[in-house]
Amino acid sequence: MGSLLASAAAAGDGTMQPPFGPAPPPLDGPELPSFRFPLGSLPTNTFNGGTAKQATVVEFPVSEKLAGVYMTLEPGALRELHWHANAAEWAYVIEGRCRVTTIDPQNQCEIVDFGPGDVWYFPRGHGHSIQGIGPGTCVFVLVFDNGYFSEFGTFSISDWLGHTPPEVLAKTFDLPQATFADFPKKEVYIATGPVPPPIAQEPAPGSLNAPPLTHRYQLLAQSPDVFAGGTMRTVSQAEFPISSTMTGALLIIKPGALRELHWHPNAAEWQLYLRGSARMAVFGSHGRARTDEFVAGDVGYVPQGYGHYIENTGSDDMEVVLVLNNATYESVSITAWMAANPDLLLATNFGVPEATFAKFPKNAVIMPD
């Protein structure tokens, strides 16, 4: 435990990427830890042109497999060119519009605009930038498939060039050293500048050497799965081929309804509650169950394979975006599991009369009202 805390503390100063650690000690005890992290109510890191705040394993120790950053960019503000050495990046745009540029190892680039309800995915190590294009503030959540990731410890182009001798830059670009005299000497992180003009259509930038797979998926434009208690939109690799390590979903649960008891065999689940209020209970085996109450702005986390349900506790629709660290969506629901077994077996299992199960659902319910 001491070494985990030490590496977590080292990560917090933004100077190094910590290694993957052991399973978080909070899951080893007789009681489960809280699976809620109040990201929305924490102070924001303010930059010229934007804000960011994060929930990594440093802040939220149980979230070992996934981390998130809530970010805003004003029109023209640029989250500078950078890459992430140890995580892929998945994002959901909550408000406003932004433009993304990407490069892959084949030197193929895509430049594309995003609006509310759009998702992006950047494979681990691929270069990218994000710029607010207005009108208004662009708000989005970034999710990374590594809880030890730190958004403040990524690889930024200004940081790199600022720590490269001018004579090397001169050789690299075949230009005089003086060209780089006014370049920043440390990481810019967010830069401010003019709102760029609309993307040219003929030819669109990068379109002559475009990657085969687009980085954008318009999740909110997808027609959702509709249940008695709400709707679910899911974006796995099946819907969004470039998303090779993560699956996302947008759940809207009606007042009083719930996402029924279920578990994900192949993934941990990271959540950002967008509106309304909710209760999530997590079952962690060996008599351990933990219930937490969530409001908009809260982050939730479910370890891989742990049972859980989410209930809308408010009088309005509850909306949550969730991300799983696997490209294939796998979920087993309690109703489907029980329906798949004979009533006699269930009677024996629970020690109650077989007739008890006559009226149980015969299929998965997913989201009862």
Active centre residues (catalytic): 79, 82, 84, 89, 128, 151
What DSSP designation does 172 have? Answer: H
Choose the binding region for Mn ion from 18-26, 195-203, 263-271, 313-321 (rule: CB under 5 A): 263-271
Whether 114 contacts 61, CB under 8 Å: no
Cβ proximity to Mn ion: between 64 and 269 the closer is 269
Q: How long a stretch of residues is the chain?
A: 369
Q: Binding mask 221-260 vs Mn ion (x if CB under 5 A, - otherwise)?
A: ----------------------------------------
- Rounded to a whole number of angstroms, the minimum distance from the CB of residue 94 to Mn ion is 16
Cβ-based nearer residue to Mn ion, 74 or 89: 89
Tokens of 336: 């489907």
Q: What share of the chain is helix, strand, coil (3-state, %, to 5)?
A: 15, 35, 50
Strand order of the β-sheet with 289-295 is 289-295, 277-283, 307-312, 258-263, 332-333
Would you say 78 and 131 are in contact if contact means Cβ atoms under 8 Å apart?
A: yes
Please, what sign has the CA dihedral across residues 319, 324, 329, 334?
A: negative
Q: Considering beta carbons, is residue 50 or 357 the nearer one to Mn ion?
A: 50
**Residue number with CB closer to Mn ion (277 or 326):** 326
Q: 3-class DSSP state for residue 167?
A: helix
Task: Tell me which amino acid residue 167 is.
Answer: E
Question: Could you say whether residue 74 binds Mn ion (CB under 5 A)?
Answer: no
Distance, CA of 97 to CA of 68 (rounded, Å): 19
Site stretch for Mn ion (CB under 5 A), options 82-90, 174-182, 193-201, 273-281: 82-90
Specify the residue, 306 or 357, whose C-beta has the smaller distance to Mn ion.
306
Rounded least distance, CB 66 to Mn ion, Å = 13
Which residue number, 269 or 311, has a Cβ lying nearer to Mn ion?
269
Stretch that binds Mn ion, among 176-184, 190-198, 262-270, 280-288 (CB under 5 A): 262-270
Instruction: Single out the segment in contact with Mn ion by CB under 5 A; choices: 21-29, 87-95, 180-188, 199-207.
Output: 87-95
Q: Which residues in 31-63 are b (16+ Cβ under 10 Å) and which e?
A: ebbebbbebbeeeeeebebbbbbbbbbbbbbbb
Least Å distance, CB 129 to Mn ion, is 8
- The size of the interface with Mn ion (CB under 5 A), counted in residues, is 2
Q: Is residue 319 near Mn ion by the rule CB under 5 A?
A: no
Q: Under a CB-based contact definition with an 8 Å cutoff, are residues 171 and 177 in contact?
A: no
| Binding flag, residue 89, Mn ion (CB under 5 A) | yes
Contacts (CB under 5 A) with Mn ion, residues 267-306: 269
Shortest CB 359 distance to Mn ion, Å: 26
Q: Which residues contact 286 (CB under 8 A, 6 or more apart)?
A: none
Span from 158-166, 233-241, 266-274, 275-283 in contact with Mn ion (CB under 5 A): 266-274
Q: Are 124 and 88 in contact (CB under 8 A)?
A: yes
- Is residue 80 a contact partner of residue 159, using CB atoms and an 8 Å limit? no
Shortest gap between Cβ of 175 and Mn ion (angstroms)? 28
The nearest distance, CB 271 to Mn ion, in angstroms, is: 8
Q: Rule CB under 5 A: which residues touch Mn ion?
A: 89, 269
